[in-house]
């Protein structure tokens, strides 16, 4: 019932934003353009950020091909908003199943599912246009649950779907694979290697080749550390305290509190599982754009996939 109520409320709010022209070209207009062009034979063409002419110059999101199948039936941006709302609402079921499986306590599982639906990061992700990135969190929650159920092939499929939501989610899948390796070596290794392989293919091959001049546009977002990955690494090695000097401050501390408070800071009790979100956290945290730390965008929801499964540490088999 809570999922239905959430879907009705946030489905209405999402569509209302569209109806009153409160949505943005970033990232509903550009996403819908890429989908429209795809279903009309021009794969992932996007012209909202010249000189780039493809969505692949920014992010690699094969899950958009699955979304395009639905979009083909109803070519309207409101379809994307409804699909996103329904999928995000379904995350409550994943949290319930995962918590009940681990703690064997249905009432606590129900409370966790309701807490998920009340999470501010979820609400902001739902209402800020349309982003395949947030789908990755839902797939990870279900993948983690089925891994605990020892349904490893299904878990692998769901982890792959998560990896196909965006390149940093693929790296998160890699870290989940490392974590799960200590429970089931074979499948943990397969999951981790698949995530790593796809992440590297996306970052080192697809995005550079789709970018104007072969230089990913996203590099400019981190120019305070360098103009490319090599310069960033050189900066960090030559001045290892730059992160502390540059990124310490009340704004970033408040952002960490924003992430952990809905979980009563219990995430800190499972640091190894918490580290599975390090790539997504780093992408936000080291950006020179303090607006990202205000909790008003969609990026933060990617971290929920790492924060909820922290309950796994209470399972004796994981000790």
Please report the DSSP string for 154-182 in residue order.
HHHHHHHHHHTT-HHHHHHHHHHHHHHHT
Per-residue model confidence as pLDDT tens digits over 188-208: 999 999 999 999 999 999 999
* DSSP code for 124: H
The residue among 32, 8, 22 whose CA lies nearest residue 86 is 8
* DSSP code for 215: -
Residues 6+ apart with CB under 8 A from 236: 225, 242, 243
Is 54 strand, coil or helix?
A: strand
Given a cut of 70, is residue 214 above it in pLDDT? yes
Per-residue model confidence as pLDDT tens digits over 69-79: 999 999 999 99
Q: In degrees to the nearest 10, what's the CA dihedral of 234, 236, 240, 245?
A: 130
Q: Which residue would you say has higher pLDDT here, 229 or 48?
A: 48
Given a cut of 50, is residue 98 above it in pLDDT? yes
What is each CA distance from 151 to 82, 98, 158, 192, 253, in whole angstroms?
Answer: 30, 14, 11, 16, 39
Q: Which residue would you say has higher pLDDT here, 66 or 280?
A: 66
284 band by pLDDT with thresholds 50, 70 and 90: confident
68 band by pLDDT with thresholds 50, 70 and 90: very high
Q: Which residues of 30-50 are buried (b: 16+ CB within 10 A; e: fewer)?
A: bbbbbbbbbeeeeebbbeeee
The predicted structure's pLDDT at residue 304: 74
Is 47 strand, coil or helix?
A: coil
316 band by pLDDT with thresholds 50, 70 and 90: very low
Extract the tokens encoding 219. 């590099």
The predicted structure's pLDDT at residue 10: 97
The predicted structure's pLDDT at residue 311: 53
Per the structure, the complete domain to which residue 247 belongs is given by 2-318
CA dist., res. 41 & res. 35, Å (int):
10
Q: What average pLDDT does the segment 116-133 reach? A: 92
CA dist., res. 259 & res. 232, Å (int):
26
Give me the chain's average pLDDT, please: 87
CA dist., res. 144 & res. 159, Å (int):
8
Q: How many structural domains are present in the chain?
A: 1
Q: What average pLDDT does the segment 133-155 reach? A: 95
Is 307 strand, coil or helix?
A: helix
* Lowest-pLDDT range of 40-49, 87-96, 276-285: 276-285
Would you tell me how many other CB atoms lie within 10 Å of the CB of residue 22?
10
Given a cut of 50, is residue 273 above it in pLDDT? yes
CA dist., res. 243 & res. 248, Å (int):
7
The predicted structure's pLDDT at residue 305: 67
Q: Are 180 and 214 in contact (CB under 8 A)?
A: no
């Amino acid at each position: 019932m809570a999922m239905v109520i959430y879907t009705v409320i946030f489905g209405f709010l999402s569509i209302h934003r569209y109806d009153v022209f409160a949505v943005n070209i970033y990232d509903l207009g550009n996403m819908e353009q890429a989908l429209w062009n795809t279903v009309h034979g021009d794969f992932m063409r996007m012209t909202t950020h010249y000189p780039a002419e493809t969505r692949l110059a920014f992010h690699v999101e094969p899950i958009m091909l699955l979304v395009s199948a639905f979009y083909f039936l109803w070519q309207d941006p409101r379809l994307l908003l409804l699909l996103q709302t329904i999928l995000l609402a379904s995350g409550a079921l994943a949290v319930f199943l995962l918590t009940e499986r681990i703690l064997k306590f249905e009432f606590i599982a129900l409370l966790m599912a309701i807490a998920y639906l009340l999470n501010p990061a979820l609400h902001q992700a739902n209402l800020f246009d349309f982003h395949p990135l947030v789908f990755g969190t839902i797939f990870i929650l279900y993948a983690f649950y089925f891994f605990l159920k020892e349904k490893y092939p299904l878990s692998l499929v769901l982890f792959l779907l998560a990896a196909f939501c965006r390149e940093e989610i693929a790296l998160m899948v890699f870290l989940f694979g490392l974590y799960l390796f200590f429970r089931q070596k074979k499948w943990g290794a397969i999951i981790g290697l698949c995530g790593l392989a796809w992440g590297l293919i996306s970052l080192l091959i697809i995005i550079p080749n789709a970018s104007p001049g072969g230089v990913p546009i996203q590099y400019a977002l981190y120019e305070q550390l360098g103009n490319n990955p090599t310069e960033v690494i050189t900066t960090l090695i030559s001045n290892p305290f730059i992160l502390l000097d540059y990124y310490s401050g009340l704004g970033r501390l408040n952002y960490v509190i924003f992430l952990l408070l809905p979980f009563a800071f219990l995430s800190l009790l499972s640091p190894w599982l918490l580290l599975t979100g390090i790539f997504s956290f780093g992408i936000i945290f080291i950006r020179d754009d303090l607006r990202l730390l205000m909790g008003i965008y969609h990026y933060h929801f990617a971290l929920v996939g790492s924060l909820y499964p922290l309950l796994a540490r209470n399972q004796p088999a994981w000790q």
